[in-house]
Amino acid sequence: MSFLFNADEIFEMALKIEQNGEKFYRDSAAKVANPQAIQLLLKLADMEADHQRVFHGMKSSLSAADKKAMTFDPANESGLYLASLANTKVFFEKDIDMSSLQGIFKAALAAEKESILFYLGMKNLVPGNLGRGQIEAIIQEEMRHIQILGEKLLSL
């Protein structure tokens, strides 16, 4: 079964991705001993929380038409699909070597790359008046996360 997602559902998925990212970074910070790494991980968590605020604002500005279901879905399969996609594609629970900064940074890099791919697709679906520019700004920030994480990984 294929699904067509409305803007409300797309923003909801983006919110879930950012919530998962914030949780990942905060959980990671609690498991490492290196003060600089803890500071970096908490900074990244705060950035993910900022992204949540942006997406929440974008979501709350949607009209009733933007929230209208695009597919007949009495069993809420599209909502379950969205939740599954958000929980399995970016910052998801998986086997991560949380005992090493290298493992944490590698997992974070992979998740940040996947989030960028999602947001690039999302940007093409969201009309300019609903926040396409804000999505572009978040993509740029996620790219900075990759740069920061890549530099830290190389320095280990």
Structure-token match 């599209």, residue found:
78
Residues 6+ apart with CB under 8 A from 128: none
**What does the longest C-alpha to C-alpha distance in the chain come to?**
52
* Mean pLDDT, rounded, of the chain: 79
Q: Is the pLDDT of residue 150 over 90?
A: yes
pLDDT in tens, 29-77: 999 999 999 999 999 999 999 999 988 988 888 777 666 654 445 565 6
**pLDDT level of residue 2 (50, 70, 90 thresholds):** very low
Angle at 36 between CA 112 and CA 105, to 5 degrees: 25
pLDDT of residue 4: 53
CATH of domain 7-61+75-155: 1.20.1260.10
**What percent of the chain has a predicted confidence (pLDDT) above 70?**
72
pLDDT in tens, 118-133: 888 777 766 677 677 8
Q: Which residue has the higher pLDDT, 18 or 123?
A: 18
Domain boundaries, the chain: 7-61+75-155
Instruction: Note the pTM of the prediction, 2 decimals.
Output: 0.76
Burial of 75 (0-12, 13-18, 19+ CB in 10 A): exposed
